[in-house]
């Protein structure tokens, strides 16, 4: 069928075929609202998953979706070289009244050249009767015929028993008959699917243990997250005897999503001591999670277990000082193990210890410079009392630290402001326009630039860039990628319990990117435009630092 013997078992993982980490990001994950993978995206996702060392990559449903058919064709033509994973095609059993070899959908599974096929079959009698409009005997025949046919063609076969848990509760005999039809015909794994996602961990563990005891079959688990328990359910199933776990990257999937691959693998490896991944791959968990979010064009979940940017971020001063003494007391594990890092959030609750830890995190050694730490703590406290917040604005905090360290020139913006003016008009014809003029000194030269924008900050940003890019052409690569606004009561709520309306203080967070990395800066002022300006200025100062200073190599 293909030139070299296609792999049907995981390669290079300590447990080999004894345990399957089975990824269905490219099929079930693609059901998530907002995801639309191109074929090139799918190939890139598969390469990342293979680098992580999952055992199986379910590439899609050939014959049902043209993009999936093409994905398998391009993979078979050599565009996808897998080092660890076996490629899987997903599809349904033959239709009622057709033989398997004549069913075009089954044919498409063969044509995909995938060495492994996962067949989905109904195992809930209500679905068999009401959705499929057939009976249990014919449903089981559809399963066993299709499995036999594919086995005869040299394929390894797994069975996804759809709606298994609901079906088992409603009519256990039917549910078990479907598994038996598949395994007797040669399927290697019977995957119990919580398709509607309504299960809880203890219930999952009970059913998996019971089915394992009654059948002796090799069992897999596939959980949806409708109760917020997909990860817990998957792990509980493994503890109850499942040796094949289906997940998606970052939990992408229909409705509330699927079990998150990274959390499931993180738990099995660190909590249950199962060596699932190839040597060195576990430390790639965070990077690969973020890369797959990038391909899906979904902002990474900052609070995701194990891999989120905040997963090891500590805010409470109480904890921060104790962490310095003994980090292992305040994290469930060492974040470096999954390629993540501990972060200390410098906030009103924080003290010297957090500033030192933060400095070390940013590569600045403040440990031997108590006077610098004092100055930074003082500046941070003063600014936070005015409404500044540095916990999400590392770049602004680094500029403060560098300035306190005497790196003043590096921390300064690449220009001096003389003045700016922004005009917003709602004209009599109903059109709304924004226009900004900036007057700045750049390398001693006075530059005046005027630009329009669809809002005051957009116009100001455009005008500032127009003034700077003649001498700083690299600024064209720097873009604002996010912009957040928060209105605050001045001086803390205590002083103004009432009436903090339009005369309140505004905090603006600006995220910038130069396509090599991203950084966040902050500005605070009573005027939202001036607050935005301050954050923009920090953003450009930091961009210059990235280009010429200590970040240049990064």
Residue 210 to residue 16: CA distance in whole angstroms: 26
Q: Both tokens of residue 5?
A: 């013997």
Work out whether 288 is an interface residue with a second copy (CB under 8 A): no
Q: What are the counts of helices (DSSP H) followed by strands (DSSP E) for the chain?
A: 18, 16
Separation of alpha carbons 314 and 327, rounded Å: 11
Helix boundaries (H) for 392-455: 394-404, 408-411
Minimum CB distance to a second copy smaller for 11 or for 35: 35
Distances (CA, A) of 192 to 158, 211, 313, 392, 509: 11, 10, 36, 42, 46
Residues 103-132 that bind a second copy (CB under 8 A): 126-127, 130-131
How many residues belong to the site for a second copy (CB under 8 A)? 136
Q: Which of 6, 63, 201, 414 binds a second copy (CB under 8 A)?
A: 201
The residues in 302-331 that bind a second copy, with binding defined as CB under 8 A, are 302-306, 308, 310-316, 319, 322, 325-326, 329-331
Q: Which of residues 175-194 bind a second copy (CB under 8 A)?
A: none
Neighbours of 171 (CB within 10 A): 17
Stretch that binds a second copy, among 6-14, 169-177, 298-306, 353-361 (CB under 8 A): 298-306
Task: Give CA–CA dist 96/99, Å, rounded.
Answer: 8
Using the minimum distance from each CB to a second copy, give the nearer residue, 3 or 426: 426
Residues numbered 431-470 forming contacts with a second copy, rule: CB under 8 A: 432, 434, 439, 453-458, 461
Dihedral angle over CA of 190, 196, 197, 202, nearest 10? -60
Show the site string, 129-168: x = touches a second copy by CB under 8 A, - = not.
-xx-------------------------------x-----
The residue from 11, 15, 98, 504 that contacts a second copy (CB under 8 A) is 504
Q: What is the DSSP code (8-state) at residue 115?
A: S
List the interface residues with a second copy, window 212-251 (CB under 8 A).
225-229, 231-233, 235-236, 239, 251
Residues 341-380 that bind a second copy (CB under 8 A): 345-346, 349
Neighbours of 135 (CB within 10 A): 14
Q: 489, 514, 549, 550: which one contacts a second copy (CB under 8 A)?
A: 489
C-alpha to C-alpha distance for 118 and 395, rounded to whole angstroms:
48
Q: List the structure tokens of 374.
A: 């004092």
To which H or E segment does residue 470 belong?
none
Quote the DSSP letter at residue 84. S
Subset of 18-77 contacting a second copy (CB under 8 A): 31-34, 36, 38-40, 65-67, 70, 74
Residue among 273 and 371 whose Cβ is closer to a second copy: 273
Which position among 355, 392, 449, 467 is part of the footprint of a second copy (CB under 8 A)? 392
């Amino acid at each position: 069928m293909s030139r070299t013997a296609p792999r049907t078992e995981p390669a290079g993982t300590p447990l080999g075929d004894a345990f399957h980490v089975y990824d269905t990001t490219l099929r079930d994950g693609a059901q998530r609202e907002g995801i639309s993978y191109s074929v090139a995206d799918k190939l890139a996702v598969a390469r990342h998953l293979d680098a992580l060392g999952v055992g199986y990559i379910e590439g899609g449903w050939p014959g049902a979706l043209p993009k999936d058919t093409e994905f398998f064709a391009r993979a078979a033509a050599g565009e996808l070289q897998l080092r660890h994973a076996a490629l899987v095609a997903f599809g349904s059993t033959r239709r009622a009244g057709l033989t398997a070899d004549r069913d075009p959908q089954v044919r498409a599974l063969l044509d995909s050249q995938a060495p492994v096929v996962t067949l989905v079959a109904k195992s809930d009698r209500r679905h068999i009767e009401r959705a499929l409009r057939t009976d249990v005997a014919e449903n089981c025949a559809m399963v066993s015929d299709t499995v036999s046919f594919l086995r005869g063609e040299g394929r390894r076969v797994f069975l996804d028993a759809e709606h298994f848990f609901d079906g088992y509760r409603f009519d256990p005999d039917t549910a078990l008959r479907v598994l038996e039809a598949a395994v007797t015909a040669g399927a290697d794994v019977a995957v119990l699917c919580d398709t509607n996602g309504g299960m809880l961990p203890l219930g999952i563990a009970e059913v998996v243990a019971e089915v394992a005891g009654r059948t002796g079959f090799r069992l897999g688990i596939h959980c949806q997250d409708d109760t917020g328990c997909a990860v817990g359910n998957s792990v509980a199933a493994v503890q109850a005897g499942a040796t094949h776990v289906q997940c998606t990257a970052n939990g992408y999937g229909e409705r509330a999503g699927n079990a998150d691959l990274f959390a499931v693998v993180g738990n099995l490896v660190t909590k249950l001591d199962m060596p699932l991944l190839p040597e060195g791959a576990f430390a790639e968990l965070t990077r690969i999670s973020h890369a797959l979010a990038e391909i899906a064009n979904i902002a990474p979940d900052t609070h995701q277990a194990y891999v989120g940017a905040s997963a090891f971020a500590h805010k409470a001063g109480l904890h921060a000082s104790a962490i310095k003494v003994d980090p292992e007391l305040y994290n469930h594990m060492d974040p470096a193990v999954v390629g993540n890092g501990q972060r200390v959030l410098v906030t009103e609750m924080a003290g010297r210890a957090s500033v030192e830890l933060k400095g070390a995190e940013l590569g600045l050694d403040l440990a031997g410079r108590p006077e610098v730490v004092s100055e930074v703590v003082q500046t941070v406290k003063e600014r936070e009392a005015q409404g500044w917040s540095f916990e999400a604005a590392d770049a602004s905090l680094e500029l403060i630290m560098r300035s306190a360290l005497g790196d003043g020139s590096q921390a300064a913006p690449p220009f001096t402001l003389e003045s700016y003016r922004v005009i917003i008009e709602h004209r009599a014809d109903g059109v709304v326009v924004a226009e900004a003029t900036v007057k700045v000194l750049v390398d001693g030269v006075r530059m005046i630039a005027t630009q329009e924008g669809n809002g005051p900050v957009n116009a100001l940003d455009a005008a500032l860039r127009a003034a700077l890019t003649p001498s700083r052409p690299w600024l064209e690569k720097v873009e604002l990628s996010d912009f957040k606004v928060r209105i605050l009561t001045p001086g803390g709520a205590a002083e103004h319990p009432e009436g903090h309306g339009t005369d309140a203080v505004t905090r603006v967070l600006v995220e910038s990117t130069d396509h090599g990395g991203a950084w966040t800066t902050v500005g605070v002022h009573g005027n939202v435009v001036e607050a935005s300006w301050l954050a923009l200025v920090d953003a450009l100062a930091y961009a210059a630092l990235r280009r010429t200073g200590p970040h240049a190599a990064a």
